[in-house]
Structure 1
Amino acid sequence: MIEVLVIVGPGLVADDGLLEEIAAREFAAAGVSGTLVHARDASHVLSLLSSPSSPGGAGCAVVLPGPSAEVRSLIGRDLGAVVWVDVERADGVTAGKGATHLHGRGISGPAWAIRHAVHRVRHPSRRIAYGPLPEQWGELYLPDADEPPVVMLIHGGYWRSIWAADIMGPLCADLARRGLAVWNLEYRRPDLHGWDATTADVAAGLAALATVDVATAALTMAAGSDALPPGADRSPAAALDLTRVAVVGHSAGAQLALRAVADAAAGEAGAAGGARAAEGVAGGVGVVMAVSLAGVLDLVEGDRRWVGTGAVGAALGGRAPGPGEGQAAPPYADASPLLRLPLRVRQLIVQGAADDLDLVDFSRRYARAAERAGDDVTYLEMPGDHFDVINPATPIWQATAEAIAHALAPPQGDKTDDK
């Protein structure tokens, strides 16, 4: 059984009883054994992290460092796959090799951290950089299949840095179980780095699929480490099938997903007279489907209606034009999926009926506009809220996953059918 150790650093401002309740609830929900310990100081934290897990068990650790400078200095050290979590916002913190830092999610942060720690033990992946900066990476999940198609996931969070790729972990596991490779993208968010950095990272992350070293990733995932085991066979593993790629985004990530697909199609249209744009080909990556999960698909109305308490204008760095003020100019004209139609790629627009009504409105109007523009679009609205669309246990996600798998299945008569 997985053993989870939760360490609370000295001076953390939180009710001890509530922390115990949160941990106990997450242990039970995940079906793991867990312990919560209050550390006296940095030396105590180190000693707890160096303790072996129970016999026959797999261990993982979550640390709430608190304000102590000595404890916080441990975050950047290479102490293994520790999940560090600050309940308050703590920008600019870089965790050591193999570790994760979550922050800014309030007292719910430890719950997210425990889920992520358990997920990493149960579902090994390989973190691969697509750029030199700390947030430029993706997690690659490989199924037990030859030449699998790929799903690229882009997380949401209203373009704010307190939300990260960990929230898409459950979908990664579910999609890999269905025989699909998954590329779970992290990227620089505009609240810290600006809008251009965000869009550039998503484009670079999509293009990076063409250069992923699948063989090394498979070996290191099997070894449970980013380093190859001594004497490991470096013979090539099955390649990814980059002719069958779906780009899937949740919430604000859906805007980024559809915008990236639109940019790729426009770029190929300019380079090849539109011949390859209809195929969704970009830099050797063939996007055959774009999927919005509760997406923010109309940025002009999103800003006018102050969705996410002003998240749209804060991300793009300016307000949308008001009624009667003329057409939207960049960055709204470039960024809003509604204004980029047609995408020339098959689309699946998924929306929970119990979500924010503005998002329901955006999804419905976008789907109708995409159809009028000549795109192949399917609108899927079912019972569920904003997070049900990224919960593998819900009917709305099950229907979504089946539609993605169907769209990425090899054509009838493909040679893989005979394997």
Structure 2
Amino acid sequence: MIFASEVLVVTGPALVADLRLLTEVADREFAALGVQGRVSPAADLPAFRDALESPGPVVAVPGSDPEARALFAGHPRAVWVDLTKPAAPGDRFPPPASGPGATYLYGRGVGGLTWAIRHAVHRMRWPARRVPYGEHPDQWAEVRLPEGGDAGRAPVAVLLHGGYWRSVWGADLMDALCVDLAGRGFAAWNLEYRRPDLHGWAATTEDVARGVALAAGDAPGPVVLIGHSAGGQLALRAAADDRRVTLAVSLAGVVDLVEGERRHLGDGAVEAALGGTADEAPGTYRDSSPMERLPLGVPQLVVQGGGDNLDLLDLGRRYARAAQDAGDDVTYLEMSGGHFDVIDAASPIWRATAGAITGRVFPSGRSS
């Protein structure tokens, strides 16, 4: 799609960060995305407010000034990003209900600016419609439909982000794949959900099931679930529970929760998410771990970058073999690449993955 607008990154007057470093990070991302952009430090509150009114995509990095932060409520079109985590668990700035389609990223450090710029560009290149499936601010999906043709008859792809089930990571991680899949003829649903660090494991499981049910709904054709990292576990588990799913795809997924907990993956992410160890909560692990649920009874594509974390590589290889031995229809795809290459729409491993998905969904050969 044509993208002529300049991306403006505006920093608040009280931001604690090296402006030169932020500019270097932003310039690299502008070049990678093929867009024009600049970083503009606001000297005071009026300058910050004026920058938010810019006509093109805006990424706002407000810093600690409460007056600058309070502007979020009136400017939901901007992508807001905090480099820091909230002061206390459960705290969130700005108020999550500040506007339809509002985006707030936090707790990812300077690297969060990269994701904020990507999100701003992707949502301008291929606008999405936000669809709620519950009353909580994290219960929504952003839907991108293919151009032309009968969008109502398009196959459905539901994408589930990773981040070791932690709330600092969100659905923006999957933006690039949603844009790519919409371009390939899919109705792409980018699903957000309540994460267990703030809401508990049952809420996460319930949200994914509800979101998938809404997306599948009266879908006239195939329904594909695609999950990355922790989202790979969620996708495979949801596929085992919902027989409307015709293909489940794990991208560098945490597909064996018992072994993942034993190996302390993600600094104890599995135990923290599920509320205990495998010995302490055996029923939760039995219901949630794809390895424990075999056979799933659903065709699967298991994708793993050869340069990823060695334990994830081990889990992926062993899971694929176990699923095949259990009688599931499983394709295992391993290529060079790291953990985030599998969700980079320009990477060879994603192009191979997309080809495998479209080959299943469009047997006549359509792939764009």
> Does the alignment reach a TM-score above 0.5?
yes
CA–CA distance in structure 1, aligned partners of residues 68 and 120 of structure 2: 20
CA–CA distance in structure 1, aligned partners of residues 28 and 351 of structure 2: 25
Q: How much does 1:124 deviate?
A: 1.0
Is residue 143–residue 189 contact of structure 2 (8 Å, CA) maintained in 1? yes
Counterpart of 1:74 in structure 2 is 71
Q: How much does 1:29 deviate?
A: 2.0
User: Any stretches of 5+ residues in structure 1 without a counterpart?
Assistant: 54-58, 212-239, 265-279, 281-285, 323-327
Is residue 301–residue 332 contact of structure 2 (8 Å, CA) maintained in 1? yes
User: Do residues 21 (structure 1) and 24 (structure 2) align?
Assistant: yes
TM-score, normalised by the number of residues in structure 2: 0.92
SS in 2 for 1:256: helix
Alpha carbon RMSD of aligned pairs, Å? 1.8
User: Do residues 142 (structure 1) and 142 (structure 2) align?
Assistant: no
Counterpart of 1:49 in structure 2 is 52
Residues 3-402 of structure 1 correspond to what in structure 2 (within 5 A)? 3-51=6-54, 53=55, 59-75=56-72, 77-90=73-86, 91-93=91-93, 94=96, 95-144=98-147, 145-146=149-150, 147-210=153-216, 241-264=219-242, 280=243, 286-321=244-279, 329-402=282-355
Q: How much does 1:166 deviate?
A: 0.6
Larger radius of gyration: 1
AA matched with 2:268: G
SS in 2 for 1:310: helix
CA–CA distance in structure 1, aligned partners of residues 284 and 45 of structure 2: 47
Is residue 78–residue 98 contact of structure 1 (8 Å, CA) maintained in 2? no
Name the stretch that deviates more: 38-47 or 171-180.
Answer: 38-47
SS in 1 for 2:197: helix
CA–CA distance in structure 2, aligned partners of residues 262 and 243 of structure 1: 18
Q: How much does 1:304 deviate?
A: 0.7
Is residue 216–residue 223 contact of structure 2 (8 Å, CA) maintained in 1? no
In the comparison of the two structures, how many residue pairs are matched? 353
Name the stretch that deviates more: 22-31 or 399-408.
Answer: 22-31
Is residue 138–residue 192 contact of structure 2 (8 Å, CA) maintained in 1? yes
CA–CA distance in structure 2, aligned partners of residues 180 and 243 of structure 1: 10
Moved over 4 A (4+): none
AA matched with 2:333: L
Name the stretch that deviates more: 83-92 or 251-260.
Answer: 83-92
Structure 1 residues 14-69: Cα deviation after superposition (integer angstroms, max 9, x where no partner): 11211121122222222222222222343322222224x4xxxxx11000011111
CA–CA distance in structure 1, aligned partners of residues 364 and 134 of structure 2: 34
TM-score, normalised by the number of residues in structure 1: 0.81
Is residue 6–residue 36 contact of structure 2 (8 Å, CA) maintained in 1? yes
AA matched with 1:84: W
Structure 1 residues 142-169: Cα deviation after superposition (integer angstroms, max 9, x where no partner): 0123211011000000000111111111
CA–CA distance in structure 2, aligned partners of residues 347 and 28 of structure 1: 35
